[in-house]
Amino acid sequence: MLSYFSNPQRFDGLARRVIPVLGVLTVLLLGIGIYLSFFGSPPDYQQGDTVRIMYVHVPAAYMAMALYAALAGASFVFFVWRHALADAAAEVIAPIGAVFTVLALFTGSLWGKPMWGTWWEWDARMTSVLVLLLVYLGYMALRAALEDAQQAARAGAVLAMAGVVNLVIVKFSVDWWSSLHQPASVIRFDGPTIHSSQLWPLAIMALAYTMLAAWLVFYRLRSRAVIQRARQIERRKLQAARAAQSTQGSGA
């Protein structure tokens, strides 16, 4: 299937149809999800209305990780099979994932203030999400720094795959590190079981975020292809103009 859609024209045909569908789904699901999380779900018995931050926070954190998995998967496909589309996907996914990571950190901070009494807590999970943001930034900086597109693609793929191994080890080491601290004295909210009145809005919001991310990815992939085509046409025009000039020059 992948090699089928690696033909740019076929992919363009697919993207043209998929983009509006994803857009409509995103708006619809976000509408329902936001309604449910504000009005359709009860306030928490402990946290009151601040629990509603969960509906924007947890899906963002989930997307931050899922998009990194997608980035690494696309990089792997590019590294092994050299599909140009896989590299385009990796390039396009990175900034979207970084924005979701910032969103997760930001909403988490807003939630932490009323719940734990602090904007930031150096606990294992938050620290590893912060490291994830650094990994995204490093990936984007490397790609931006390498001028040769082929080199940028391959070096980026190597870095993105190494990042997976790194993030797993970081997760374990940060757990060890925060267990060296004294246990946090703030109240911890770790609901292993979640009531269905909260699960529904959360699930719909997670689905809405997924659609939003997919929409953005397809949209950016298509606009990237359009930009490339425009550059090609420009280059050809320039070449034609130069050729015309040189024949004129030789004629005179």
Residues that bind other proteins (CB under 8 A): 131, 134-135, 137-138, 141-142, 145-146, 148, 150-151, 154-155, 157-159, 162-163, 165-166, 169-170, 172-174, 176-177, 180
Q: Please, which residue, 158 or 230, has the CB nearer to other proteins?
A: 158
Q: Please, which residue, 22 or 157, has the CB nearer to other proteins?
A: 157
Q: Decide: helix, strand or coil at residue 231.
A: helix
* Min CB(69)–other proteins separation in Å: 16
* Min CB(207)–other proteins separation in Å: 30
Residues 202 and 58: beta-carbon distance below 8 Å: yes
* Min CB(186)–other proteins separation in Å: 22
Residue 82 backbone phi and psi in degrees, to 5:
60, 35
C-alpha torsion angle, residues 42, 50, 54, 172 (rounded to 10): -130
Q: Please, which residue, 170 or 204, has the CB nearer to other proteins?
A: 170
Q: Please, which residue, 150 or 197, has the CB nearer to other proteins?
A: 150
DSSP string computed for 41-103? SPPBTTTBGGGGGHHHHHHHHHHHHHHHHHHHHHHHHHHHH--HHHHHHHHHHHHHHHHHHHH
DSSP E strand stretches across 115-214: none
Residue 48 backbone phi and psi in degrees, to 5:
65, -140
* Min CB(134)–other proteins separation in Å: 4
Q: Please, which residue, 159 or 203, has the CB nearer to other proteins?
A: 159
* Min CB(213)–other proteins separation in Å: 22
